Amino acid sequence: LVLARVNDSEPFQVSLFPVGGGKHYIRIKAKVRQETNTKTGDRIRMRMNVLDRADVSIPEDLMSALRAENMAEAFKSLPPGRQSFIVRRIDEAAKPETRTKRIQEALLAAYERRER
């Protein structure tokens, strides 16, 4: 997991996906492409900082949902890699309804963790 900036955009979390031969690709959200006036195939300047897996930044809407259901501590007790995966899936949702569905999945993961 890395914190990235494209052409001096606001920083955003993104994952690097290996494609072989030491090369990786990333998925840049439409919002970032719009903000930076870039499209697929454009040359960009990218700055990245590798994040410690323990430094998972929980989005506000997810944290609000966790607090509303009294699940914040259960979510934080998940392994950092699992938290990171869940947050990444939420952040990569292209549609609001997909994001909402994934937040519900995060609540379920926290609930299952608490009930163990």
pLDDT tens-place string over residues 42-60: 999 999 988 766 667 899 9
Of 14, 21, 16, the C-alpha closest to 87 is: 14
Do 71 and 110 share a structural domain?
yes
Residue 105 within a domain: yes
**To the nearest whole percent, how much of the chain has pLDDT over 90?**
53
Do 93 and 70 share a structural domain?
yes
Do 45 and 20 share a structural domain?
yes
Which residues are CB-neighbours of 90 under 8 A, at least 6 positions away?
59, 62, 99, 102, 103, 106
Residue 68 within a domain: yes
Which residue range forms the structural domain that includes residue 7? 2-50
Do 39 and 74 share a structural domain?
no
Residue 13 within a domain: yes
23-25 and 2-6 beta bridge pairing: unpaired
How many domains in the chain? 2
Judge whether residue 106 has pLDDT over 80: yes
Q: Does this model's pTM top 0.75?
A: no
Q: What is the pLDDT of residue 54?
A: 63
Which residues are CB-neighbours of 4 under 8 A, at least 6 positions away?
11, 12, 13, 14, 26, 46, 47, 48, 49
Residue 15 within a domain: yes
Judge whether residue 67 has pLDDT over 90: yes
Token pair of 52 as six digits: 């410690």
Residue 55 within a domain: no
Do 73 and 94 share a structural domain?
yes
SS3 89: helix
Of 45, 12, 57, 51, the C-alpha closest to 30 is: 12
Bin 43: left if φ > 0, else alpha if -120 < ψ < 50, else beta: beta
